[in-house]
Amino acid sequence: MQSNCEGELVTAISHAGDLGFHGILLNAGAYTHTSIALYDAIRAGALPTVEVHISNPDAREPFRRRSRIAPACMARVAGFGPSSYVLGLLGLLGHLEKLRPDERG
**27-83: pLDDT as tens digits:** 999 999 999 999 999 999 999 999 999 999 989 988 888 999 999 999 999 999 999
Strands lying side by side in the sheet with 75-78: 24-26, 49-53, 75-78
Task: Consult the annotation and say whether 40 binds a ligand.
Answer: yes
The 10 Å Cβ neighbour count of residue 34 is 15
Q: Is 15 a residue of the active site?
A: no
Task: Consult the annotation and say whether 55 binds a ligand.
Answer: yes
The whole-model pTM stands at 0.90
Task: Consult the annotation and say whether 27 binds a ligand.
Answer: yes
Residue 83: Cβ-neighbour burial (10 angstroms; 0-12, 13-18, 19+): exposed
Catalytic residue among 15, 22, 53, 95: 53
**39-55: pLDDT as tens digits:** 999 999 999 999 999 99
Domains (ranges, CATH) in the chain?
A: 6-103 (3.40.50.9100)
